[in-house]
Amino acid sequence: MFYKLKNWAKVLPLALVLFSAAQVMGQDGTIYPLAAPAEPKAILLNTGGVKDQPAKESWFRQWGDPMARNITVATLTPFLPAPGKANGATVIVAPGGGFSWLSMGNEGWEVAEALAKQGIAAFVLKYRLHPTPESLEDFSAWMNRPRTTPPPADTAKSVTPPRPPQLDLSNQLADAEAAYAMILKRAKEWGVDTSRIGMIGFSAGAGLTMHSTLHSKTMKLAFIGPIYGGMGPVEVPKNAPPMFNVIASDDFLFRGQFGVVDSWFKAGIPVEFHLYQNGGHGFGLGNPNRTSNRWFDAFIHWLEVNKFLVAKASK
């Protein structure tokens, strides 16, 4: 996991990545306290706070990654390509964490950095979250509480499993819409082609990407990339964008479902789907020795083939 520390050093002060050797070696899923990192490039979205949220934003480290919880102030952090490399394509990156925390390194900064290296302007959205216990000890106990796993979908009988209770995502949608609006407003400054703004998200971030696609009245996304998100069927808007969808067969969210892909296909909207043999859940750009590790290369190729990486010819 040391490769991830190298990536952090490019976006955060060096002091924040110099963890003790004992901490760095603790890659067992244990939750460790982490001082809130400086985020000098983060831009406030001014979308308000979170109702009935007494706890302050706090950070922790798990699996070697920095994560934030109890976020009440949404921000947008730009990762812009090197001068002369920008192609105008733009991606809003939404990390995951069950809408209770955000995996800022693994599913945010590292992904945005990789996109910027491809000439794509990337913006990490730190969106507001639902409250979690204030103390790290109570939060750890809450995270480790017993859970029941839903049974696999009965594909032989074409039975659609019941949808889980839907969370109120009004705050998160407002944050995504504010991020999109800010990118439009500062498009010239950031070298953004406003006709080629897409959004990708991971786990809950994939859910927010899909929620924005299905429900936003202001976002006109050119493409979307839900990465290991929910796979249930949806009602597809007529103006829905092309979709690049990724999940691993050993991900607990897969459960043998293809509903969202089938929904896009039946709506006649371009869709690409990658079901990987392994990768589990939360693999970000990749984990050692997993077939899912090449998804990012496939995503860039998909963008290129669909001409999202080149400016559209003026009429």
Domain of 249, CATH number, reads: 3.40.50.1820
Q: Quick check: is 163 in a domain? A: no
- Domains in the chain: how many in total? 1
pTM score of the predicted model: 0.86
What is residue 314's predicted lDDT score, i.e. its pLDDT?
52
Q: Quick check: is 311 in a domain? A: no
pLDDT above 90 coverage of the chain, percent: 75
Q: Quick check: is 267 in a domain? A: yes
Mean pLDDT across the stretch 123-143?
91
Give per-residue pLDDT as tens, 200-216: 999 999 999 999 999 99
Mean pLDDT across the stretch 294-313?
94
Q: What is the mean pLDDT of the chain?
A: 87
DSSP 106-155: IIIIHHHHHHHHTT-EEEEEE-------SSHHHHHHHHTS---PPPPP-G
Query: Alpha helix locations (H) across 144-224?
Result: 170-185, 187-190, 204-215
Q: Quick check: is 8 in a domain? A: yes
Give per-residue pLDDT as tens, 155-190: 555 455 555 557 899 999 999 999 999 999 999 999
Q: Quick check: is 154 in a domain? A: no
What is the 3-state composition of the chain as percent helix, strand, coil, each rounded to the nearest 5? 30, 20, 50
Give per-residue pLDDT as tens, 45-74: 999 999 888 889 999 999 889 999 999 999
Q: Quick check: is 196 in a domain? A: yes
Give per-residue pLDDT as tens, 75-92: 999 999 998 999 999 999
Give per-residue pLDDT as tens, 251-263: 999 999 999 999 9
What is residue 166's predicted lDDT score, i.e. its pLDDT?
73
Give per-residue pLDDT as tens, 136-148: 888 888 787 776 6
Report the C-alpha gap between 63 and 38 in whole angstroms: 21
What residues contact residue 106 under an 8 Å CB cut-off, 6+ apart?
Answer: 4, 63, 65, 95, 282, 284, 285
What is residue 146's predicted lDDT score, i.e. its pLDDT?
77
Query: Which residue type is seen at 282?
Result: G
Q: Quick check: is 161 in a domain? A: no
Residue 2, pLDDT > 50, answer: no
Strand ranges (E), 230-312: 243-248, 271-276
Give per-residue pLDDT as tens, 226-259: 999 999 999 999 999 999 999 999 999 999 999 9
Q: Quick check: is 188 in a domain? A: yes
Report the C-alpha gap between 261 and 254 in whole angstroms: 12
Residue 198, pLDDT > 90, answer: yes
Residue 3, pLDDT > 50, answer: no
Full residue range of the structural domain in which residue 110 is found: 2-136+168-305
pLDDT above 70 coverage of the chain, percent: 84
Residue 131, pLDDT > 90, answer: yes
